[in-house]
Amino acid sequence: MVHYEKHLQEKVYYPRLERPATCKEICLEQARLLVRGLQGEETYMPFLMR
């Protein structure tokens, strides 16, 4: 569980926000994008972390 919490706080560059973001912020943004895609508002482009 500790490793999971650390991973959520890790910073990764996220092109859509044009800045480094935590994995938690990226997951929230991806959830928002997925909902918009399901509602037909926007094309859903998933972000894959390496």
Q: Cα(47)–Cα(34) distance, rounded to whole angstroms?
A: 11
pTM: 0.64
Q: What is the mean pLDDT of residues 32-38?
A: 87
> What are 36-49's pLDDT values in tens digits?
888 888 776 666 66
Query: What's the mean pLDDT in 21-27?
Result: 87
Q: Which residue has the higher pLDDT, 34 or 48?
A: 34
pLDDT at 20: 92
Q: Which residues contact residue 21 at a Cβ distance below 8 angstroms, ignoring those fewer than 6 apart?
A: 11, 12, 13, 14, 29
Give the pLDDT score at 49.
62
The rounded mean pLDDT for the chain is 81
Q: How distant is the alpha carbon of residue 44 from its chain centre?
A: 12
The Cβ-side half-sphere exposure at 4, using a 13 Å CA radius, reads 1
Domain boundaries, the chain: 2-38
